[in-house]
Amino acid sequence: MSQIPPPLARMDTLLTYPMPFPIKVMGAKSDALVVAVAALAQQFDPSFDRASIRLRASRTGKYLGITLTITATSRTQLDGLYRALTSHPLVQVVL
């Protein structure tokens, strides 16, 4: 009888590294948010191209959505980046 791996382990087996991996970040609209998110992306992916960042303001203009694509090389890298982003005081949501 085989054991079923935990959900995260199964998800990891679906990914083939290295691969482009989009991440969406949201927070209150500010230039500091964009700078912080770009710096964290660069920290976890030295090849990250800041020119690839896509910005989208909310309908009211109060919030900013940031889409960035890093080159994912491992589950450990992705977990570290998500932890760094979600713990940043300017970041409200990470998808």
Q: What is the dihedral of CA 40, 43, 45, 46, to 10 degrees?
A: 130
Band (pLDDT 50/70/90 cuts) for residue 5 is low
- Starting at the edge strand found earlier in the chain, the sheet holding 19-28 runs 54-57, 63-72, 19-28, 93-94
pTM for the model? 0.84
Place of tokens 């085989």: 2
pLDDT digits (tens, 9 = 90+) for 15-36: 899 999 999 999 999 999 999 9
Residue 53 gets which letter from DSSP?
-
CB atoms within 10 A of CB 84: 18
